[in-house]
Amino acid sequence: MKVYFTASIAGKDQYIENYCSISGYLRSKNIDVIADHILKGNEQTVNKESREQRLKFHKQLEHWIHTSDCMIAETSFPSISVGYEISLALKLGKPVLVMFSKGDPPSLLAYHNDEKLMCEKYSMDNISEVLDSFLHFVHEKSDMRFTFFITPRIASFLDGVARDDKLPKSVYLRKLIENDMKKRNKA
């Protein structure tokens, strides 16, 4: 399993122990965790990057999210970038765990209706239980692969949709099926 971990770099000074505990626990379960961009990065380095470097990193970040099985976001320190990453993961149909250690969940996510989004308050005492519960959820909800043949005309159309909408073809097809399922349930 591959987990994409994200958190606020600006909040790193305040929450680094939490970040390390989360990523460390996942690694102790032999899970491939993408977290070094948060654990080893800092605001000063990010602020010094050129526009080209930032765009290159953004493409890398999107690749990590695309290739991960799920996302875990530590959101105790607010971050617009983390919110963007959560939105992208949900758009791609990835399960997302939003963790926060104090206060309430992020206001824009607290009441978001998506079966793949979980918001959980945690402490250092229950971090393993929160993570285990989410990992179990991800394992239970893992998608099944379905392969079928298509005509070159359909393939060309899907390539255009993927390019224009910046969306994987499988996500587009899944959305079509989900929309049809909703229509049929209402009929």
The pLDDT of 126-139, averaged and rounded, is 92
Residues 80 and 109 in one domain: yes
Q: What mean pLDDT is reported for the chain?
A: 88
**pLDDT by residue (tens digit) across 2-11?**
999 999 999 9
- Domain count of the fold of the chain: 2
Q: 114 and 22, same structural domain?
A: yes
- CA dihedral (173, 175, 181, 186) positive or negative: negative
Write down the pLDDT at residue 143.
61
Query: Residue 174: pLDDT band by 50, 70, 90 thresholds?
Result: confident
Residue 179 forms part of a structural domain:
yes
Q: 94 with 65: CB under 8 angstroms?
A: yes
Determine the Cα–Cα distance for residues 98 and 73; give it in Å rounded to an integer. 5
Two structure tokens written together for 91: 């758009």
**What's the whole-number mean pLDDT along residues 149-155?**
87
What's the CA gap between 74 and 22, in Å, rounded?
A: 9
* Residues 160-165, mean pLDDT to the nearest whole number: 86
Task: Identify whether residues 101 and 174 lie together within a single domain.
Answer: no
Instruction: Confirm if 25 and 6 have CB atoms less than 8 A apart.
Output: no
- Residue 111: its pLDDT value, please? 67
pLDDT tens track for 69-97: 999 999 999 999 999 999 999 999 999 99
Whether 100 and 65 share a structural domain: yes
Amino acid at 46: V
What pLDDT score was predicted for residue 128? 94
pLDDT over threshold 80, residue 112: no
81 falls within a domain: yes
Query: Which residues are CB-contacts of 137 (< 8 A; sequence separation ≥ 6)?
Result: 95, 118
Mean pLDDT to the nearest integer, 134-159: 82
- Token pair 């958190």 is at which residue? 7
Same domain, 16 and 45: yes
If phi > 0 it is left, if psi is from -120 to 50 it is alpha, else beta; for residue 59 that is alpha
Q: What is the DSSP string of 76-120?
A: SS--HHHHHHHHHHHHTT--EEEEESSSS--HHHHT---TTEEEE
User: Which comes out higher in pLDDT, residue 24 or 116?
Assistant: 24
Q: Which domain holds residue 103?
A: 2-141
**Distance between CA atoms of residues 56 and 34, nearest Å:** 17
* Residues 19 and 64 placed together within one structural domain of the fold: yes
